[in-house]
Structure 1
Amino acid sequence: MKKFFIFFLCLPFFVSSFTGTSLGAADWPSGPSVQAQGAILMDADTGTVLWGQNIHNQYFPASITKVMTALLVIEKCSLDETVTFSHNAVFNVESGSSNAGINEGDKLSVRDCLYALLLKSANESANALAEHVAGSTEAFADMMNVRAKELGCTNTHFANPSGLNNPEHYTSPYDMALIARAAFNNPVFEDIDSTTFYKLPPNSINKEGLTIYPGHKMMRKSTPFYYPGIIGGKTGYTTLAGNTLITCAEKNGMRLITIILKGSTPQYWADTKNLLDFGFSNFVSLKAAEYEKTYSSITSDLNFSGLSITRPEALILDPDSRIILPKTANFSDAKAELSYDISSGDPPNSIAKINYRYNDRVVGCTFLEVNDALFQNKEAETRIATAAQAGANSGSDDELDPSAAQTSINPSGKRPDKETEDYREKALRPFEIPLTAWLILGSVGAIIVIGGSTAFFIYWKHQEAQNFLIRREQRMKRLRDSGISADEFNSILEQRRSSYSTKRRGRRGGRFK
């Protein structure tokens, strides 16, 4: 049975078109000069490092720590929850450190606290939010460290939610960029952090409320450091950390993140501007599905699970995945590597992942996905046809009485008498187990528990391997559901790759404008 065989014959044209980086691919652009000790420029969509300086060295982050604090709070809380400020939250801060004029006993919503945290860099708000989420600032710091590891941070350790001086509180430019990327991918965080002013409600100190503004001067048109396209960011400063800065900006469909650690004022504003100018001037962000035309060029009619397809899109490329390339490069310069290693965070319909590299640098990925629309259309047609056939086979104009489903009728057509009802009640009573049986069952249960504990230990030893096999079977099932076996897919892929890689070599696409 062919079942989509023709389509998969065409698929390797797509893969083989990127089996090798084209000869003469442009070098990666050289970055600007930055005076800060640690700095990085990262593409927010792909996580690609466009430029960096000491990106894995450890530095004190100061108040840019509050980006992690805000992200964790948003992930754990509702914005309408009420936060009560304790004595510890208000007074366990360094003298003269930034605050929003909130006093012990004041109550604010989580939303108000987040605005105070990110715009005013309020240390008492950081403490109060931490206590609200975890019960104490120490427990919250543990949660911060767990979340940092989940994001891929390897040179980061948090000791408090505010970023005040502590020898055990440090991060790296790369780790902080990972945290900022996760934060700006959260729409609630972005909405709060991009705000240019906010009115906090009245409290025991500010009877009329307090209007606050972001400390990030590149967001404000009234300052000489204003930079068009800034989405948001966070400033920080302590005597040990120096000036620190997170910035996110967007232009021409490309979103960039910069991190400055151990900088100086006002130079760290200039460092950030230079990094953003470099990124926007030298790189382009592309949706892979828009530049790969192999699928859209297939016009042969196919038959897929009984459904006639005039546009064979049973497998589609993820429409939103991006890659980033130097503007001097061609799309064909990116080398594609096909993988079946799909993780839980990838799109649920994925059957394969395509990783792109440019001169051995990862520049993004996309996914091959089963097109659910085809299955849904087919299922809808089947349901309609089944319902129509059932109606045609009924052969009667009599309508069923809806009450009939709710009333029991015996074969004589009469309702059950009281004797029948009593018998039914007895029949429905739970079965009574004698005491002796319970004792026997208890002994057997104890044996089962002991044996089960041993079995669980063995199971636990092999859990990682089993999880891998399960994920692999899920991926293979997606292939089978699409009408072709994994062996057939791999066989076709290898045959076509070797057949067409020679023809593709040296071929180059158009330049990006």
Structure 2
Amino acid sequence: MKKRIAAIFFVFICFFNFSFSISYAAAPGISAGAAILMDAETGEVLYSRNADKVLYPASITKVMTALLAAEKGNLDDVVTMSFEAVFSIERGSSHIALDVDEEITLEQALNGLLLMSANDAANGIAEYIGGSIEGFAEIMTSKAKELGAMNTNFVNPHGLYDENHYTTAYDMALIAREALKYNTFRNIISTTSFEIPPTNKQEETRYLYNQHKMLENPVHRSTYFFDGVIGGKTGYTDQSQHTLVTYAEQDGTTLICVIMNADTQTVMYTDTVNLFNYGFNEVSKLQLNKAHQVVDTLPIYNDVDGEGKGMNKLGYVDVIALEEFIYYGNTEMSEEDVIKKLSFGDPLLSPVYKDEPIGDLQYIYQGTVIGSVPLVAGQTYEKVDTSLISTLQQDISVTPDNGYVDIIYLGVIIIALFFALILLWRIIRHVRRG
């Protein structure tokens, strides 16, 4: 019964920890139709506006295309352009003038994809990874669902408008977070320029330049430059309006900003700058414990008579936080301001098994519980067999009838043993002298 109650309590604690809502400082006004700011390490959402609204992504779709290429491809592999890859894209849409049967490496295709938003390169990558554009789109959607992007459906690798090609700002943040785990992706989005040398179909070198205006540019610093920007991906169609994914890092914290449905470039960049300023300057990030960290030790007892009347301490058990807890609050907060309170069954009785739920650790700030983590035991303590203990207690117990006799008898035995040891010592000395 106790185990069942503990299990129910553990589930409740996990749910409470998952569903707890945290309040931050007042966020800046955002003009775009949808926006989100996410911590790349933890996935914590620091700001959202219509983040679950289904919208058209345009070319930020290419973040997923690049993610799958980094995950499944080899940079030195050759991508051969098919007729469909070259000519299925709309006239006037972005491209790098790839030709039918032209051969480029996957690395070159990815640079064309991410720096110049080349739709022909996107198609070539899709066919290289998925066998066909349609097959690759299925892989894209499947990967999105795997990442938790449940309101996303892709039908092409580039983001040109299709009514069945959609996502949300939140889903795009999840995809962007996963993509950043790959050095190939990170290195390319942070590159300001790249050259594709002559190929089997092109005699001239292609010069590619990063279209993201918040990056540091060695030639000309953009009005929208932001210190710490890693890179990102721009997008635009008439139906989607302007879309933007941007990564920035300051003081060891990396943030992801997704802007969708902005009516001008100015809006999408200004909103991104405002959100980064908010995330880096107005929100503090406190790691209050790490996953699997020992947060305390507690005594563990054996219930001798099974009724809680006879308690023997067996030792101490490590108390381990099952998961990390990071709190996002205003910049005035410090870890010293947070009170830590252990909540558990008192006293802890054996048997207790390693990794068994034993309570929770609550974090309290200014009298309010701001979160909690479940606690588990670090060691196993089986229940001690008390029959031998009880027998021994009975054998040496002192009663009115025989107590003095037992004491005298025990004293005589101890004195006899003492003299026997002295005698043995003298005999040994005598033998050594002889």
Contact 2:291 2:321 in 1 (8 A): no
Contact 2:292 2:322 in 1 (8 A): no
Q: Which residue is equivalent to 1:155?
A: 151
Structure 1: stretches of 5+ with no match in the other structure: 1-19, 301-311, 339-348, 369-475, 489-513
Distance 1:325 1:120, change over 3 A: same
After superposition, where does 1:265-414 map in structure 2 within 5 Å?
Answer: 265-289=265-289, 295=295, 323-331=327-335, 333=338
Q: Which residue is equivalent to 1:244?
A: 243
Structure number having the greater strand percentage: 2
Q: Which residue is equivalent to 2:55?
A: 59
1:211 aligns with 2:210: no
Distance 1:245 1:131, change over 3 A: same
Contact 1:283 1:327 in 2 (8 A): yes
AA partner of residue 332 (structure 2)? T
Q: Which residue is equivalent to 1:173?
A: 169
Q: CA deviation at 1:213?
A: 1.4
Q: CA deviation at 1:242?
A: 0.6
Distance 1:207 1:173, change over 3 A: same
Q: CA deviation at 1:185?
A: 2.1
Distance 1:337 1:185 in 2: 35
Distance 1:251 1:46 in 2: 15
Q: CA deviation at 1:111?
A: 1.2
Q: After alignment, is 75-84 or 137-146 more displaced?
A: 75-84
Distance 1:63 1:355 in 2: 44
CA offsets 1:39-69 (integer angstroms, 9 cap, x no match): 1111111111111111110111000000001
CA offsets 1:450-477 (integer angstroms, 9 cap, x no match): xxxxxxxxxxxxxxxxxxxxxxxxxx9x
Q: Which residue is equivalent to 1:442?
A: none
Distance 1:354 1:284, change over 3 A: farther
Q: CA deviation at 1:367?
A: 9.8
Distance 1:181 1:147 in 2: 13
Contact 2:293 2:321 in 1 (8 A): no
CA offsets 1:264-322 (integer angstroms, 9 cap, x no match): 22221111101111111112334444899975x88x9xxxxxxxxxxx99887799985
Distance 2:154 2:364 in 1: 34
Q: CA deviation at 1:191?
A: 1.6
Q: Which residue is equivalent to 1:258?
A: 257
Contact 1:46 1:323 in 2 (8 A): no
Distance 1:355 1:73 in 2: 42
**Would you say how many aligned residue pairs link Structure 1 and Structure 2?**
332
Distance 1:138 1:328, change over 3 A: same
Distance 1:271 1:234 in 2: 15
Q: CA deviation at 1:141?
A: 0.6
1:484 aligns with 2:380: yes
AA partner of residue 274 (structure 1)? N
- Higher relative CO (Cα under 8 Å, sequence separation at least 6) belongs to 1
1:230 aligns with 2:229: yes
Distance 1:486 1:266 in 2: 66
Distance 1:204 1:276, change over 3 A: same
AA partner of residue 69 (structure 1)? T
Q: Which residue is equivalent to 1:423?
A: none
AA partner of residue 380 (structure 2)? I
Secondary structure at the aligned position of 1:217 is classed as coil
Secondary structure at the aligned position of 2:268 is classed as helix
Q: Which residue is equivalent to 1:74?
A: 70
Distance 1:59 1:191 in 2: 28
Distance 1:286 1:266, change over 3 A: same
Q: Which residue is equivalent to 2:185?
A: 189
Secondary structure at the aligned position of 2:242 is classed as strand
Contact 2:291 2:323 in 1 (8 A): no
CA offsets 1:173-212 (integer angstroms, 9 cap, x no match): 1111111111112222112221111111212564232121
Structure 2: stretches of 5+ with no match in the other structure: 1-15, 300-315, 344-353, 385-434
Q: Who wins on radius of gyration, i.e. which is larger?
A: 2
Q: Which residue is equivalent to 1:424?
A: none
Contact 2:194 2:207 in 1 (8 A): yes
TM-score normalised by the chain length of structure 1: 0.57
Q: CA deviation at 1:334?
A: 8.8
Q: CA deviation at 1:162?
A: 0.4
After superposition, where does 1:408-447 map in structure 2 within 5 Å?
Answer: none
Distance 1:191 1:487 in 2: 57
AA partner of residue 280 (structure 1)? F
After superposition, where does 1:31-180 map in structure 2 within 5 Å?
Answer: 31-180=27-176
Secondary structure at the aligned position of 2:153 is classed as coil
Secondary structure at the aligned position of 1:129 is classed as helix
Q: CA deviation at 1:261?
A: 0.5
Secondary structure at the aligned position of 1:266 is classed as helix
Q: CA deviation at 1:323?
A: 4.7
Contact 1:48 1:364 in 2 (8 A): no
Secondary structure at the aligned position of 1:190 is classed as helix
Q: CA deviation at 1:238?
A: 0.6
Secondary structure at the aligned position of 2:46 is classed as strand
Secondary structure at the aligned position of 2:24 is classed as coil
Aligned-residue RMSD, C-alpha: 4.0
Q: CA deviation at 1:324?
A: 3.5
Q: Among the aligned pairs, what percent are the same residue? A: 37
Q: Given the alignment, which residue of 24, 27, 31 partners 1:28?
A: 24
Contact 2:290 2:325 in 1 (8 A): no
